[in-house]
Structure 1
Amino acid sequence: MSRTIVDTEVIKQAVAVASRAPSLHNSQPWTWVADGGELQLFADRSRVLRAADSAGREALVSCGAMLDHLRIAMAAAGWQSFVDRFPNPNDLSHLASVHFQRAGYVTDAMRARATAMLRRRTDRLPYRPPTDWDILRPVLRELVDSDVVHLHVIDEAGRRELARASRRTEALRRQDLEYQSELDWWTAPFELDEGIPRSALNSVPEADRVDVNRAFPIDGHHERRVATGPDQAAILVLSTPEDSREDALLAGEALSTVLLECTAVGLATCTVTHLTETEDGRAAITAALGTSRYPQALIRVGRAPALEQSPAPTPRRPVSDVLKFRR
């Protein structure tokens, strides 16, 4: 079947915007290859974190988020995407092939999500409860729930269990020198096009007020959001029936949908992965859910102070590093 050729500049712009997708420690473990009328997504194995993500599952979730971001960016540019996942059984790094057709129109929802890609930040500080949660929660479930991916909301009892598991996980990892070295590298206090700026991390008092969150190397900034008090975010979990590569990729696509929809309605979000990186943490999430499904991603959602300055965007690799053209 013939493929519609999309202008090179449209592809570059869409990949640039889609590169705002979240990834573990902002590692950006993806590469795009434009080949004729097709755009191919590959996992970049050189960017998979060995200590935090030894199985490469978090990288697949990250690539799924990138895939969904790309689809939305192209939709906002007037192109409909058709995705073939894992098209080459002989190349496990080839995650998806996408081809495009002109769309008849661009929906307001797609425009809003495309704009949200540029506004979304990972906010690790404490939140107030999300506004209009009884309205938004069923909307998110309608957008996400499928035969594969389900969205769950953790109740108070489950949250206490996750908080205990979070503390237990961090206590164990303090003794893991490879993990600590990796964490130090990805939060290095110098300018890069990857990793997490120190300004985006929590101080000790701030971290103490967020019960389910990763412990990062501590920055010396003053305590922020004192009036917010302890974190009151809603905690969401995306789960799948199996723990396959396809399940992880689809969970990443659903993660993108949740983050962008929440951002579009003015809520703050933070993807929390330290619990899904370990067997003990995933077991704790499964127990909190009361299900045998596999947890793939955990998300905090809430309100940041309206007049607070937005966090600076985390750096991203140049488009020339993540997009290649085959002639």
Structure 2
Amino acid sequence: MAVTVARIDVITNAVRLACRAPSLHNAQPWRWVVDDGDVHLFLDRSRVTLSDRSGREALIGCGAVLDHLRVAMAAAGWRAQTDRFPNPDDPDHLAVIRFTPMKSVTDAQRRRADAIVARRTDRLPFMAPTDWESFEPVLRNTVDGDTVRLDVMPEDMRGCLAEASGLADSLRLYDSGYHTELGWWMTPFEGSEGIPYSSLLSEAEASRVDIARTFPVTHHSERRTEVPEDHSAILLLSTRDDSRDAALATGEALSAVLLECTMAGLATCPVTHITEVRVTRDMVAACLGRDLKPQIFVRVGVAPVMEELPPPTPRRPLKDVLWVRD
């Protein structure tokens, strides 16, 4: 069945919005193909970082962009049906998404799509999230507990997490390949990828966040001085195994969590370096006392209301990530 130009425009706009999804070092490891109205998501292996040898982090990013697409299309009036890993002969073919029109669009669906634009990865220290007791059940309802588990780390776990965070960095202290790659992604790109300097921390700022990756230090003036140390809530998404399905599902859950927090006016920062190193990953699982695979942490908290928002991180041109077949 031929696809109308109007519908292609809707899909194109939704893909553009979906590509605001977070990914490791903002590598954006995805590729979209539109074929007769169906949207196909592929892993772009040329965007998988060298330190992500298994591709797990890239799949988490692809899961996030997949959920973002469904959110964007719902706000445009289209319901998604997702078939994950549809082609056993092509492991990079992650999903095919088919759409049917909805009778109406709710305000909540529109707000969720707006949250895609508003969300930022904020690496500065946070104040403690407000009204957490009432918000936590809402947050848990966004995650399919059968596939991905959401845990809110108790305060007495913070020391273990801070120790794991520091250990993960120290274990890579002399890994020249890791630091070369990290520095490459931190280059002040004029184009469409990587993490701009405005999103990184100075040495003084970094000293106030106890659970965070160590990036190359910047030299801008110290920001958010009214928050002397990080009081964020720490979330953990984990799965039963390390399958590709689990990684993709983790990304979908991550998207849902980040957008729910953004709609609630909370700042967020995904944290992955602890789960990238086997020793610290096992250390977290042991501290939790559960036979689960920690996938990704998220810091959640409050940023000062009057603070100027940093510019959004860059994204690859749509022509580089989207193909429409005639």
Moved over 3 A (4+): 2-6
1:287, distance to aligned residue in structure 2 (A): 2.3
1:177-326 matches, cutoff 5 A: 177-326=176-325
Q: Distance in 2 between matches of 1:189 and 1:176?
A: 22
Distance 2:264 2:307 in 1: 17
Is the deviation greater in 301-310 or in 272-281?
Answer: 272-281
Q: CA deviation at 1:148?
A: 0.8
Partner secondary structure for residue 121 of structure 2: coil
Q: Deviations over 1:72-126 (max 9, x none)?
A: 0000000000000000010000000001000111122211110000000000000
- Aligned-pair distance for 1:146? 2.4
Q: Which amino acid aligns with 2:243?
A: S
> Is this contact kept in 2: 1:41–1:97, CA < 8 A?
yes
Shift of residue 4, structure 1, vs aligned partner: 7.3
User: Following TM superposition, by how much is the alpha carbon of 1:196 offset from its aligned partner in structure 2, in angstroms?
Assistant: 0.2
Displacement of 1:150 in angstroms is 1.1
Report if the CA contact (8 A) 1:242-1:294 is conserved.
Answer: yes
Distance in 1 (CA, whole Å) between partners of 2:241 and 2:75 is 32
Partner of 2:141, secondary structure, is helix
Identity %: 55
Counterpart residue number, 1:71: 70
**In structure 2, what is the equivalent of residue 117 of structure 1?**
116
Evaluate the alpha carbon distance shift between residue 92 and residue 222 of structure 1 in structure 2; reply closer, same or farther with a 3 A threshold: same
Tell me how many residue pairs correspond in the alignment. Answer: 325
Q: Match of 1:21?
A: 21
Name the counterpart of 1:96: 95
How far apart are the structure 2 equivalents of 1:80 and 1:4? 16
Bigger mean CA offset, 140-149 vs 316-325: 140-149
Aligned to 2:125, what secondary structure does the other structure show? coil
1:167 aligns with 2:166: yes
- Unaligned segments of structure 1, at least 5 residues: none
> RMSD of the alignment, in Å?
1.2
How many angstroms apart in 1 are the aligned matches of 2:20 and 2:280? 27
Question: Unpaired runs of 5+ in structure 2?
Answer: none
Secondary structure, in 3 states, of the residue corresponding to 1:69? helix
TM-score by length of 2: 0.97
* Contact map agreement 1:149 1:240 (CA 8 A) in 2: yes
Structure 2 residue 104 is the aligned partner of structure 1 residue 105: yes
SS of 1:275's equivalent in the other structure is helix
Contact 2:8 2:37 in 1 (8 A): no
CA–CA separation in structure 1 for the residues paired with 2:267 and 2:59 = 24
Taking structure 1 as the reference length, the TM-score comes to 0.97
